[in-house]
Amino acid sequence: MLDIPSPVRVHLEALLAAQNDMGVCDAIEHYAPAGKPSAMNAPHLPKVAGIDSTVPPPAHTVPPTAQTTPAAAVPEDAPALTAPGAVLQDRLAGWVSDLTTLHELTERLARTATLDEALRELLRAGAALVGARRGLVVVEPADGLGPDTTVGLGLGRADLGHLETVPRGATSYGRILDAVEGRPGGVPDEIAQPDLLAEDGLDPRQREVAARLGFAASYAVALATGTGSRIGAAVWLYDEPAEPTERRRHLVGLYARHACEHVARLIELDRVRAADHTLREELMPSRLPRVAGVQLAARHRTGPRGGGDWHDALPLPDAALGLAVGSVTGSGPSAVAAMGRLRASLRAYAVMEGEDPVAVLSDLELLLRLTEPARSATALFAYCEPALRKVVLAGAGHSPPLIVGERRTEFVETSLSAPLGMLACWEAPSVEISPEPGETVLLYTDGLLYRTGEAMDRAFARLHAAAASVPKGSRDDPGAIADHVLHTVLPDGLDAVDSDEDVVLLAARFE
């Protein structure tokens, strides 16, 4: 607050006129006394509008303070005078309150980590700023790369469906999104419809939907980044005819400019995540083959950074079946790409000489050493003849498979071997097993053991106990066996574990 000496008196109308002509700061300088004030103090300004209220009250709510001149000193016919300090305090308090509100709203927005969270926070904050109760935001990036989505505030899925039945050109967000830059009118920054039902030429379907949903006015703003790239539009709906004041429009405009930058970053992040997910899904088998005499099920969960674990099942000549699991060192896109190359190579070697798993892994090791000299990998390949219930397998630094049946639950005794790429020449003997009818061979990657957070011997013991505890009614379904093992080994779930490790389970039940 500015403590201006009492001898300085300014008529209210003159001060307001000066503010409009030259700005508040120039008006203060113009009407300030030439000498130094006798006293200056700056008490904490009262907070007029707060973030916690549903709709912030107008900033200028402090009534002008009357001049405290003794009645005897003021003639009865003198015009009413107001101390300039009270007017300036009122305006400064409003500005401080607005800045505080915007600061708190943008801090809330900055804490959102996903696109959906950010859009919902944008709607809530905008509704508080413009004094509305409901709204929706439509995201349609101008580059056409997506994601295209619609999020509502106070509107259910059915309500959004009703709004989508309105012709796009009749909606305020449609006019914003479909406007073309360079044409007369350009892209509107805002569209206010203070009384929808009273508008001439209102689309009949829009009138019907407005009556059904119970809104009578709307206010829409364009969402665009600082570079002018359009990302969508936000619309807030009023239950009664209404229109935001100039102050509210200014505040929501400032907030929307900041929110658009944050939303644009989340859109880019969402695109990267979607592309990475699509890449990993395409590198993994989209479905498992159907081979007589065996049932297959797979569970694959990639870590947050993207890893190089994979599984595969491919039909081979003479009604045989090849099963493989493996893991490439590292994480991120480079590991995913290396995993794709290694998996494709293994498929080729399996088709040519799958009946000899040692030869398959030897060829794979040579390829890895020549093409990926700085990378190593573990792998296990099994050549299965379902009609004979015969499995020949070999592993390179990989954990042994687990046989799950009614009479036994045991690990397959495989020979110890180094991972691929660790030795000048890899070779290890293969192992042959004969599962009984109804038994399941469970192949997995080390990520399942690492995610337990325990020493390897205890992790193996937990895995064995989980497989042994499969309910009898679930032993006929390899998918149910895989799910039971996952939920037992990791009771808190895959998402609750703080680990970057991938998890792969491949179950083959022999009939």
Domains of the chain: 12-65+79-106 (no CATH), 112-278 (3.30.450.40), 285-510 (3.60.40.10)
Of all helices (H) and strands (E), which one includes residue 234? Answer: strand 230-238
The alpha-helical segments, DSSP class H, found in 324-446 are: 333-353, 357-371
The 3-state DSSP composition of the chain as helix, strand, coil percent (nearest 5) reads 40, 20, 40
Which structure tokens are listed for 239?
A: 């239950």
Q: Note the pLDDT of residue 56.
A: 46
Which structure tokens are listed for 123?
A: 């709607």
Q: Note the pLDDT of residue 47.
A: 37
Under-70 pLDDT residues of the chain? 1-83, 180-187, 280, 304-306, 424-426, 493-499
3-state secondary structure 132-182: CCEEEEEECCCCCCCCCEEEEECCCHHHHHHHHCCCHHHCHHHHHHHCCCC
Q: How far apart are CA 326 and CA 324, in angstroms?
A: 7
pLDDT tens for each residue of 334-354: 888 888 889 999 999 999 998
Q: Note the pLDDT of residue 188.
A: 78
Which structure tokens are listed for 168?
A: 């796009």
Sign of the CA dihedral with 453 first, then 458, 463, and 466 last: negative
Q: Note the pLDDT of residue 279.
A: 72
Q: How far apart are CA 139 and CA 151, in angstroms?
A: 8
In one letter, which amino acid is 322? G
Per DSSP, the residues of 43-60 read PPPP--S-TTSSSPPPS-
Half-sphere exposure in the Cβ direction for 228 (13 Å, CA): 6
Which structure tokens are listed for 184?
A: 């007369």
In one letter, which amino acid is 316? L
Q: How far apart are CA 343 and CA 379, in angstroms?
A: 10
Q: How far apart are CA 128 and CA 248, in angstroms?
A: 10
Q: Note the pLDDT of residue 403.
A: 96
Is 126 in contact with 135 (CB distance < 8 Å)? yes
